[in-house]
Amino acid sequence: MFDTGSTGFMLVCTSLVMLMTPALAFFYGGLTTKRNILGIMIQSFVSLGWSTILWFVIGYSLCFSGSLGDGTDLVGILGNLDKMFLQGVGPDSVFSGNNSIPEYVFIAFQMMFAILTPALITGAFVNRVSFKAYFIFLTAWQFLVYYPFCHMVWGGGILSEWGVLDFAGGIVVHATAGFAALASVIFVGARVDKNSTPNSIPLVAIGTGLLWFGWYGFNAGSELAVDGVTANAFLNTDLAASFALFTWMVIEWIRHRQPKLVGVLTGSIAGLATITPCAGFIPLWAAPIVGICAGLGCYLAVELKNKRKWDDALDVWGVHGVGGFVGTILLGVFASTAVNAAGADGLIFGGAGFFGKEVVAVVIASIYGFVFTWGMLWVINKITPVRVSEQVEIIGIDAAIHGEKAYDEGAL
């Protein structure tokens, strides 16, 4: 009944995407200061557990039950409650999207996206947000931002019906999370101690390598089968990341006379984020262009952030928000039905209407992610202070809130 090749491949891809959340913890943990390593890492691991529970109880149902087309969802914005606690789904249930893999596999694959997306935001407000406030935020953000956009784009909601495409999460993941990060930074304010010297660049490199590795599952797995589109998405992912890495390195080398490893690593992540919406819809020759635009666009965004003094500690908006935004627009330019018959033709292939839809959709997602995140933080702040005290910030989140240290500096 099932295609065993595609099923096995999707189980591997699901595992790769799961790996991206611990990888993000390493990436962020290495970039932050020594007093806040555990505080940022625990946020990723808590998302790994709590988001799984939410997904099982209600998240999957809100994202993938019902559709606007048959009038069984909530006005095209959220699904229904038919699959709460995964009721009605069994080991032999077939995923209706392609009738070749178990629905359990699709549930698990999509769950990994729900886990990773809010974890991306945490790098923006490192060393400033209390754990209690973060936990409430993590829960609310899933319901008010991630679930609606997941359903609207991937679950048969209003944007899907309108013809908007997003292969692996430029809108659903990166634009929403990136602009949520910017809202968080503006609401929470700047750190008392703005020293952002990474405590362990090797740890950042390990996190980057694991993220890059996991991204093959993130993008290629989003085809939900093994075919030519899968291979195209896989290779596009690698090309974009490589060209973005090189672009960032060259810019930094020219401007600062030194090629820096953190810049190289950041550039690769920018390329990976930017190719995400495009990976399975654009021809191979377009991937290097996407990578170059990613390296240049995200670098300029980080420079703008520095000029505006937005204290986005780990450049979540500049890399993920701008990367997802730019990638979605480039999807509207380079998409081709010759590459993927289930896609659309972009601007250069005569699809001006499709290009316009992608631009409108990513603008809506970015504004929505920003506004709802700011509003959520305002409400949470009425319940419990979002920002830690200045004393806690100076001591460090690790010791003050979690009672732990990343390194026992007295050990021999």
Q: CATH number for the domain including 12?
A: 1.10.3430.10
pLDDT at 374: 97
In a domain, 405, yes or no: no
Which sign, positive or negative, has the C-alpha torsion 87, 92, 94, 95? positive
pLDDT at 1: 79
pLDDT along the chain (412 residues), means of 10: 94 98 96 93 98 98 96 96 96 94 98 98 93 98 98 98 97 98 95 82 97 98 97 98 98 95 97 98 98 98 94 93 98 98 97 98 98 97 96 93 86 50
Classify 74 as helix, strand or coil. Answer: strand
d(CA 187, CA 210): 31
65, 80 contact by CB (below 8 A): yes
Helix, strand, coil tally for the chain in percent (to 5) = 70, 0, 30
In a domain, 400, yes or no: no
219, 236 contact by CB (below 8 A): yes
Q: Where are the alpha helices (DSSP H) in 221-321?
A: 228-256, 261-275, 287-308, 316
Which bin fits 198, alpha (ψ -120 to 50), beta or left (φ > 0)?
A: beta
Q: How many independent structural domains does the chain possess?
A: 1
d(CA 306, CA 395): 25
In a domain, 106, yes or no: yes
pLDDT at 411: 53
pLDDT at 94: 96
In a domain, 412, yes or no: no
A 10 A CB-CB count for 227 gives 12
User: Tokens at residue 386, please?
Assistant: 């979002």
In a domain, 136, yes or no: yes
In a domain, 399, yes or no: no
32, 203 contact by CB (below 8 A): no
Provide the CB-side half-sphere exposure for 137 (13 A, CA).
35
Tell whether pTM > 0.85. yes
Classify 310 as helix, strand or coil. Answer: coil
Q: Which of 346, 234, 246 is nearest to 292 (CA)?
A: 246
pLDDT at 412: 47
In a domain, 404, yes or no: no
In a domain, 244, yes or no: yes
Domain membership of residue 64 as a residue range: 4-394
What separation in angstroms does the CA of 157 have from each of 28, 149, 170, 331? 33, 9, 17, 20
